[in-house]
C-alpha cells in the first residue's frame, strides 16, 4: 500500500484481529471489501442490517457463520492467473490498437 494512513492501517488490523479472535477465524482480512459472492450466498445472508460500509463486514461474517465456504474457487483463479502471467511471458497480451485499456 502506498500512502495509506498509518492510523487507518492500525485500526483496520486491530479490527480484523478482534473479529478473528471473537469468531475463531483464520482469515486475515474479513473487512476487506474486495470480494465476490455467488447469488446463492447473498440470498442466504439476508436480511442485511447494514446500511453503510459496515456491509463489508456483515456479508462475509454471515456467509461464514451460515456455513458457506469462502475462498477456494477465488484462490484457484488467483493462482491460475498468476501462473498464466508467469509462464506465458505476455503471449496473451492484446495487440496494440485493439479494444480499450483497463486504466
Task: With respect to residue 103, please indicate whether it lies within any of the assigned structural domains.
Answer: no
- Is residue 51 pLDDT above 70, yes or no? yes
Residue labelled with grid coordinates 460500509 = 53
Task: With respect to residue 61, please indicate whether it lies within any of the assigned structural domains.
Answer: yes
d(CA 31, CA 11): 11
Please compute the mean of the pLDDT values over residues 16-26 and round it to a whole number.
86
Q: State how many domains the chain has.
A: 1
Length of the chain equals 103
d(CA 66, CA 47): 13
Query: Maximum CA pair distance of the chain?
Result: 52
Indicate yes or no: pTM above 0.85: no
- Is residue 78 pLDDT above 90, yes or no? no
Confidence of residue 42 (pLDDT cuts 50, 70, 90): very high
Please compute the mean of the pLDDT values over residues 59-77 and round it to a whole number.
79
Find out whether the peptide bond into 47 is cis, omega within 30 degrees of 0.
yes
Task: With respect to residue 95, please indicate whether it lies within any of the assigned structural domains.
Answer: no
Task: With respect to residue 46, please indicate whether it lies within any of the assigned structural domains.
Answer: yes
Task: With respect to residue 100, please indicate whether it lies within any of the assigned structural domains.
Answer: no
Task: With respect to residue 68, please indicate whether it lies within any of the assigned structural domains.
Answer: yes
List all residues 6 or more positions away from 29 whose beta carbon is below 8 Å from its beta carbon.
16
pLDDT value, residue 72? 63
- Domain enclosing residue 35, as ranges: 6-88
- Is residue 97 pLDDT above 70, yes or no? no
pLDDT value, residue 86? 83
Instruction: Check residue 28 and report its DSSP letter.
Output: S
H or E stretch covering 13:
helix 6-23
Task: With respect to residue 63, please indicate whether it lies within any of the assigned structural domains.
Answer: yes
Amino acid at each position: 500500500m502506498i500512502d495509506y494512513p498509518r492510523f487507518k492501517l492500525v485500526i483496520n488490523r486491530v479490527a480484523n484481529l478482534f473479529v478473528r479472535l471473537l469468531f475463531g477465524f483464520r482469515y486475515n482480512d474479513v473487512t476487506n471489501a474486495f470480494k465476490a459472492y455467488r447469488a446463492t450466498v447473498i440470498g442466504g445472508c439476508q436480511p442485511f442490517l447494514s446500511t453503510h460500509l459496515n456491509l463489508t463486514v456483515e456479508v462475509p461474517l454471515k456467509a461464514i457463520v451460515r456455513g458457506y465456504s469462502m475462498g477456494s474457487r477465488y484462490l484457484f483463479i488467483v493462482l491460475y492467473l498468476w501462473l498464466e502471467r508467469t509462464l506465458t511471458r505476455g503471449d496473451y497480451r492484446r495487440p496494440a490498437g485493439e479494444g480499450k485499456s483497463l486504466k
